[in-house]
Amino acid sequence: MRARVPIALGLTVMGMAIGWTIAIAQQPQSAAEARSDSAKADSPLATLDWLVGEWTNEGEKVAIEFNCHFSKNDAFLIRSFRNTSDADSELSGMQVIAWDPSKSSIRSWTFDSNGGFGEDAWSQSGNRYTLRASYTLPDGSKGAAVNVLTYIDDNHCTWKSVGREIDGELLPDSEEVTIVRKAQDETSKK
């Protein structure tokens, strides 16, 4: 099995007025092509090759779409995302995922369409990744959470956010969300 360890989709917590949502990204070429053409086998980010492609989840409360691809030099994963809630509010943005050699770990930085930004520090245990997220919301308040990303297979993963807070005020844990890779015929229609 290739290095398919799920490094945290970089799913990061984004503050919205009524709650939190997750960030994910999209890939223009087919996921199989991108995985075979992209990350160098010796790159620490090669463990994320399964993430490259287009992903979606249409839940009852939030519709999520993202696209993920390696940068031209394979040094970064770039994810663009769009989340729409049942209240017709939309959040979009981008995330950059990188290997931090000074900490020997993967980190990410996220920027959203409302002016919020944040970073994640990732750790792995088997097929589960734990992301310690810190975030600055558009109004200047500070958010934090522990996001748990679990790799199921090349076409499925789950995400859950726990220990969430804004300015020290605890928020309820999120429900676990299943995220699915878009079928090839869906992605070619774009």
Q: Cα(158)–Cα(112) distance, rounded to whole angstroms? A: 22
3-state secondary structure the chain: CCCCCCCCCCCCEEEECCEEEECCEECCCCHHHHHHHCCCCCCHHHHHHHHCEEEEEECCCEEEEEEEEECCCCCEEEEEEEEEECCCCEEEEEEEEEEECCCCEEEEEEEECCCCEEEEEEEEECCEEEEEEEEECCCCCEEEEEEEEEEEECCEEEEEEEEEEECCEECCCCCCEEEEECCHHHHCCC
90-112 pLDDT tens trace: 889 999 999 999 999 999 999 99
Divide the 190 residues of the chain into consecutive groups of 10 and give the mean pLDDT of each group: 31 34 44 49 80 82 86 92 79 93 93 96 87 96 94 89 96 90 66
Model pTM above 0.85: no
All structural domains of the chain, each given as residue ranges with its CATH number in brackets, are 13-187 (2.40.128.20)
